[in-house]
């Protein structure tokens, strides 16, 4: 630091400049405060009360008189002394970093190779397992696939069965419809105890109670009664059917398919079918339902059918009283809808009553069901509601003769003769032989709702008259 001795110096501050060396003692610098030299750790001298020390890294007093050439040599030697340990440190750091990077790359390579080998091993194992399963299934024609319903011997009216898994499959094969929560797995469904509910045109329906106390209805399609369809076609059809949602439809929650095995899972309806409600038990003589109940059920069924016809290009195709279930509030809900397309029409052998629901054009030519054939089945169902008689006991009558026959079956409903007559007319129009003469389902629904409004008006007028009298 130069020896400053300007007498005119008033302000002096060299703090925070990383200066080195001894501070000269001059009158001007002696008057400057110590703070003016702060944050210069390599400064020393009397003024800042820090003694200066000699160091082998600096020139000795004898070297002060050395010629310029010698001074240059001393400077070079000092630079060599200082830079030598720094370069060694840099080399060591470089070696360490190189080793660390090399080790990390080696570990990453080992992990990648391990994951690749594991993936290949799992793929080979999966293929071999699938091949073994296929051979095991084909080895015996009597061996059931995936699951089977096995009857148990119980002395009750209901036939109790048990769902027994024949071969464990992944639960992913149980396909839930869009938007449905996966509340159970295929394994839980296979372990469920089951009760036979009924045998239908293309399959058998069971009530299944799972170990988590969830109750569902399972329809097992009969491979011998269904048309040959690919798994992809079945899946596409069930996706379309599973998307249908209406208060008067029993929703399809999930479905399953494997070789020779197809299941459809519905909500369980606790109050039975319309057939049981109308016809009662075999030990008692069935009495026709009150006409207001008939009107309510007819409206529910018409609402469900109209929704199917308008929401999709499919039809119910198998409307009958056993396929109308009663919900928690005794609302009528359609089930087994849109499955007729899966049936093998050449092998279908309907009982007499079930066959009477079929429209003439379907019975004669085995054509596929149409919206107008659904309308015909609705007309037969409405007559069954009004008379309490199964279709096999319906006489072949002209529409003009139907009201007299229905009134004969309902001797106690004289007061509601007008509304009853209108309902019979709807049934007659729906069950006309020519499909072109039958109304569309939305038109049938409108007729029924108009009858309902007319009945409400008549009830209101009757109540007012009774109060006045």
3-state secondary structure of 33: coil
Pick the closest to residue 301 from 321, 272, 277, 280 (CA basis).
Answer: 321
pLDDT higher than 50, residue 236: yes
Q: Quick one: tokens of 59?
A: 């020139």
pLDDT of residue 345: 65
Do 234 and 258 form a contact (C-beta atoms < 8 A)?
no
Q: Dmax over Cα atoms in the chain, in whole Å? A: 146
Query: How many angstroms separate the CA atoms of 188 and 292, rounded?
Result: 42
Q: Does the predicted TM-score (pTM) go above 0.75?
A: no
pLDDT band at 79 (very low <50, low <70, confident <90, very high): very low
In the beta sheet, which residues pair with residue 160? 195
pLDDT band at 228 (very low <50, low <70, confident <90, very high): low
Pick the closest to residue 350 from 358, 359, 342, 339 (CA basis).
Answer: 358
pLDDT 10s digits, 297-350:
999 999 999 999 998 778 999 999 999 999 999 999 999 999 988 886 665 555
Ranking 135-139, 303-307, 409-413, 426-430 by mean pLDDT, the lowest is 135-139
Instruction: Indicate the pairing of strand 147-151 with strand 160-165.
Output: antiparallel
The percentage of residues in the chain with a pLDDT greater than 90, rounded to a whole number, is 34
Do 264 and 255 form a contact (C-beta atoms < 8 A)?
yes
Average model confidence (pLDDT) across the chain: 77
* Domains of the chain with CATH codes: 1-54 (no CATH), 145-268 (3.30.200.20), 272-469 (1.10.510.10)
DSSP labels, 388-448: ---GGG-----GGGHHHHHHHH-TT--TTHHHHHHHHHHHHHHT-SSGGGSPPHHHHHHHH
Q: Quick one: tokens of 438?
A: 């039958």
pLDDT band at 151 (very low <50, low <70, confident <90, very high): very low
In terms of pLDDT, which residue wins out, 371 or 139? Answer: 371
Pick the closest to residue 296 from 319, 341, 330, 247 (CA basis).
Answer: 330
Mean pLDDT of 276-301: 83
Query: How many angstroms separate the CA atoms of 273 and 334, rounded?
Result: 10
**Sequence-distant (≥ 6) Cβ neighbours of residue 271 within 8 angstroms:** 325, 326, 327, 328, 330
pLDDT 10s digits, 152-200:
333 333 333 344 334 334 334 789 998 888 888 888 998 999 999 998 8
Burial 339-359 (b: 16+ CB within 10 A, else e): bbbbbeeeebeeeebbebbbb
Mean pLDDT of 72-76: 42
pLDDT band at 45 (very low <50, low <70, confident <90, very high): confident
Q: Quick one: tokens of 312?
A: 């999709």
Torsion of CA 135, 136, 139, 143, to 10 degrees: -140
pLDDT higher than 70, residue 225: yes
Q: Quick one: tokens of 10?
A: 């008033």
pLDDT higher than 50, residue 12: yes
pLDDT 10s digits, 98-119:
888 888 888 888 887 777 777 6
Number of H helices, E strands in the chain: 12, 12
pLDDT of residue 416: 63
Do 47 and 25 form a contact (C-beta atoms < 8 A)?
yes
pLDDT of residue 90: 61
Nearest 5°: CA angle at 19, between 16 and 22?
Answer: 130
């Amino acid at each position: 630091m130069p020896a400053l001795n300007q007498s005119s110096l008033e302000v002096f501050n060299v703090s925070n400049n990383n200066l080195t060396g001894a501070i000269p003692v001059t009158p001007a610098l002696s008057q400057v405060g110590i703070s003016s030299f702060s944050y210069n750790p390599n400064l020393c001298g009397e003024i800042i009360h820090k003694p200066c020390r000699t160091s082998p890294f600096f020139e000795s007093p004898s070297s002060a008189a050395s010629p310029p050439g010698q001074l240059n040599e001393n400077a070079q030697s000092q630079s060599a002394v200082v830079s030598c340990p720094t370069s060694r440190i840099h080399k060591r750091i470089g070696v360490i970093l190189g080793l660390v990077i090399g080790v990390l790359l080696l570990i990453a390579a080992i992990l990648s190779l391990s994951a690749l080998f594991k993936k290949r091993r799992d793929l080979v194992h999966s293929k071999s397992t699938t091949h073994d399963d296929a051979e095991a299934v084909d080895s015996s024609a009597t061996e059931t696939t995936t699951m089977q319903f096995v009857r148990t011997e119980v002395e009750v009216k209901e036939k109790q069965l048990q769902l027994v898994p024949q071969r464990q499959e992944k639960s992913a094969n149980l396909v839930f419809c869009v938007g449905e929560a996966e509340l159970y797995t295929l394994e839980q469904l296979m372990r469920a105890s089951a009760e036979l509910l009924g045998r239908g045109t293309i399959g058998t329906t069971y009530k299944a109670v799972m170990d988590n106390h969830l109750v569902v209805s399972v329809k097992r399609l009969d491979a011998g009664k269904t048309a040959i369809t690919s798994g992809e076609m079945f899946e596409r059809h069930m996706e379309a059917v599973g998307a249908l949602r209406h208060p008067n439809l029993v929703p399809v929650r999930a479905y399953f398919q494997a070789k020779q095995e197809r299941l459809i899972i519905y909500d369980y309806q606790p109050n039975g079918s319309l057939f049981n409600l109308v016809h009662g038990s075999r030990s008692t003589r069935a009495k026709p339902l009150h006409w207001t109940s008939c009107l309510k059920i007819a409206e529910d069924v018409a609402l469900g059918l109209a929704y199917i016809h308008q929401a999709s290009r499919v039809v119910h195709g198998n409307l009958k009283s056993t396929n109308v279930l009663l919900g928690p509030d005794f609302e009528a809900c359609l089930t087994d809808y849109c499955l007729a397309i899966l049936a093998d029409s050449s092998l279908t052998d309907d009982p007499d009553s079930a066959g009477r629901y079929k429209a003439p054009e379907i019975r004669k030519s085995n054509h596929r069901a149409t919206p107008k054939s659904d309308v015909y089945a609705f007309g037969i169902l409405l007559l069954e509601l009004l008379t309490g008689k199964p279709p096999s006991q319906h006489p072949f009558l002209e529409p003009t003769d139907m009201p007299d026959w229905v009134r004969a079956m309902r001797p106690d409903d004289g007061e509601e003769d007008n509304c009853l007559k209108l309902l019979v007319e709807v049934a007659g129009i729906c069950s006309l032989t020519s499909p072109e003469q039958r109304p569309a389902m939305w038109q049938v629904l409108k007729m029924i709702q108009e009858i309902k409004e007319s009945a409400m008006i008549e009830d209101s007028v009757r109540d007012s008259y009774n109060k006045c009298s």
